Structure 1
Amino acid sequence: MSSGYTKSILVAGVGQKPKKGDSVTVHCTGMGKNRDLNQKFWSTKDPGQEPFTFTIGEGKVIPAWDEGVLTMQKGEKAVITAQPHYAYGARGFPAWGIMPNSVLKFEIELLSFGPSKIKASHILVKHEKSRRLASWKDENGVEIKKRSVADAHAILNGYLNEIKISQDKKATFAAIASKHSDCSSGPRNQGDLGWFGRGDMQKGFEKGAFALQVGEISEVVNSGSGSHIIMRTG
């Protein structure tokens, strides 16, 4: 264990541990406001907050997190106590009431982890609530403006059924994307979006894509652009 932090496990996790470069998502409550380790300065469970996602092992968070969370398993809850040089050091974090050279305590739950970037293809069907009511095959949005969200879902579920019964799902997905997707990636790249990381895509799309394993195809997911089915390819 590093001399910069200690870890005490509250609830054991299961399975493998994250590796450097993975995207990890945690719940966390930080204690140590005004040098009082019983006083909270921040929590992902506070109103308006949500689980925190970061790329581990790349210096994007304090060292106690970068090193400590690498030792955790999925579902594990632990208390990590960070010495000042493994937390915010001499500068502190005044906005949160963290004084210079403060020892801090974090109760962390490792919710999930996986690659920080994935590769995926998609089929997009726009509808009347899409943020841009036009596409490469409907430049004035004549059909899109008449299409409800339910209509878009029905169209995509039809494509999904066709893909599921196909002997070559990847080829069928690509063919449908090329002809029918409202995204220009359809005719240009058979729906292939290439590699992307968290924060690169709209939230609904990102959540659906990162939940998939390589080769898996999603059910219908929604984003500001419209409705999609997604196939993870890398």
Structure 2
Amino acid sequence: MVKKTHVSVILFLLFAVFGMVIGIHIEMIDKIENQLPFSPGIETQEIADLRKANQDMKKRIKQLKSQVTIYEDEKTVENIVLQNLSSKVNEYKLLAGHQIVAGPGMIITLASTLDENIAMIVEQKRYLINLVNELRMAGAEVISINNHRITSRSEITLAGNHINANMTPMAPPYVIRAIGDIDDFQRYITYRTLLFELMEVDGINTSVEFADEVKIPALTKEKPMEFFQIIEDTQ
């Protein structure tokens, strides 16, 4: 019985990780398909075949993800150990940014009051980075910029004439969504920041909207982890 439980736990973990990877791959296939060139009347057979292959792969991945979900649900019903493990897996998925979430919060929009690209000044003055850090201090539990989920491993950097988040270029206006206690956010906006005044001086207009439900998508792309290894604690 113990051996069977261990096998079930291992299989559950494998399927949980597999399901997470599948979710990311679905989003990436959508992006690849949208980036494929389209020329009405002269679309080559190669591009048409590639689009068809992407659609077939997307359909298959969704089927596999559905099967993984069914398997996880069946196993967690059978075993109290797996129920607790499932709860932990979902918690880590949330912390890693791999789940779509919604809740009360606010939406901040940064737009240029001038007829120019504000990416350079936003990066030079670290406005987005400072804003994200201040929102976290104000109690933000989940944050996104232009629908890019910001996690502990996300980067916000200047690349040419645009800003990248999670290795993906973003164009202004920058729309920052944050989920958290609305009262705390209102106090932050009213009393605790000079960022908005500084941005206004630099030609960046800010607008703030509070909402009972703010939806933030799951993480779709992040840098791979290559150089660390897990070691056993011998202490």
- The TM-score, its normalising length taken from structure 1, stands at 0.28
Higher helix share: 2
Provide the TM-score with structure 2 as the length reference.
0.28
Structure with bigger RCO (C-alpha 8 Å, 6+ apart): 2
